[in-house]
Amino acid sequence: MRIEHLRERSDLGVISAGTLKSLGVTNPWRRCASGGPWQRMYPGVVLLHNGPPTPDQQLTAALLRAGPGAVVTGAWACRRHGLPARGLEIHLLVPGSVRGSGSLILERTSPVPAATDVGGFPVVSAARAVVDACRFLRSVDEATALIAAAIQRGHCTPAELAAEARTNRYGTKLVRSVLRELGRAESVAERDARRLSRRIRLTTPHWNATIAGADGLIIGRPDAWYDDVGLAWEIDSRAFHYGVRDYERTLARNSRYAAAGILVVQTLPTRLRDQAEAVGKELKAAYRAAAARPRPPVRVVEMG
């Protein structure tokens, strides 16, 4: 059979050895030998070219190996949701017994969680994907960054993550620890900011408080707010905040602060991590400057 006809019967160039044999290719593995035109992706799964597979071809081959009912979770599912997860292993949840190989993780589970079509692939919810991705992490900071991104970008809530961690407790100690540590903090940087604020002994600020002007209009929601002097501290992380639209919102936020007479300290997470002493001195100097001028007529408001 001509290769064009084989590709028509494949999915993105991925096809099972059984299908090839039914189409008259009696020994597909011979063509997968070194220097051959095809390649073996997994037992029983062939890619109809010998170049590097695309991510979509890798995922297609993994799902074909796993069989019907398999769904994508872990780092690959996180990336399909637009989250910055590391990890090369493809992690699938399957209803039956089938063995993975190499970087393919096939985890039997019952029932298989619900999945939605994301770019043509069955992908679990963001909360389940994040929890499963964190099961294979060893770094607290990496787990915190992934969880923070999922929450900040609106893919899931802390409660949904906690529920997934309770339901699937095996290997979720890191997730549960990070959720406890974060509390209301939403990033490694904010956690570090809380520690620095305590260390330099400034007035305990409000964290993520909503600030309004005398007219009642909302001005902003700084990461830290020193209410007694009207000082805002923003931890501006490129990783979490500096998409094009986020950058525009940051500029608009700073303009509102200036118009309301609020002093603001902006700190990059890298400086907070690597130059904490210098950041502490800057924050204390800004606090003194804020205390030396009349406090602007702004207030913390409760958001329903």
pLDDT confidence band for 186 (50 / 70 / 90)? low
Backbone angles phi, psi at 139, to 5 degrees: -95, 125
122 or 144, greater pLDDT? 122
Mean pLDDT rounded to a whole number for the chain:
88
Ranges for all domains in the chain classified under CATH 3.40.960.10: 188-301
The tens digit of pLDDT for each residue in 61-112 reads 999 999 999 999 999 999 999 998 988 899 999 998 777 777 899 999 989 9
The tens digit of pLDDT for each residue in 231-265 reads 999 987 544 444 455 667 778 888 999 999 999 99
Q: Residues 192-217: what's their mean pLDDT?
A: 88
Q: Are 230 and 299 a contacting pair, CB within 8 Å? A: no
Q: Residue 166: CB partners within 8 Å, gap ≥ 6?
A: none
Q: Are 269 and 237 a contacting pair, CB within 8 Å? A: yes
Q: Residues 284-304: what's their mean pLDDT?
A: 91
The tens digit of pLDDT for each residue in 11-57 reads 999 999 999 998 888 889 999 998 899 999 999 999 999 999 999 99
Residue 153's region, left for phi above 0, alpha for psi from -120 to 50, else beta, is alpha
Q: Residues 122-127: what's their mean pLDDT?
A: 97
Q: Sign of the CA dihedral 198, 199, 201, 207?
A: negative
Share of the chain above pLDDT 70, in %: 94
CATH topology of domain 188-301: Endonuclease; Chain A (3.40.960)
Nearest residue to 257 (alpha-carbon basis) of 236, 227, 232: 232
| The token pair that represents 167 in the structure block | 């339901």
Backbone angles phi, psi at 75, to 5 degrees: -60, -40
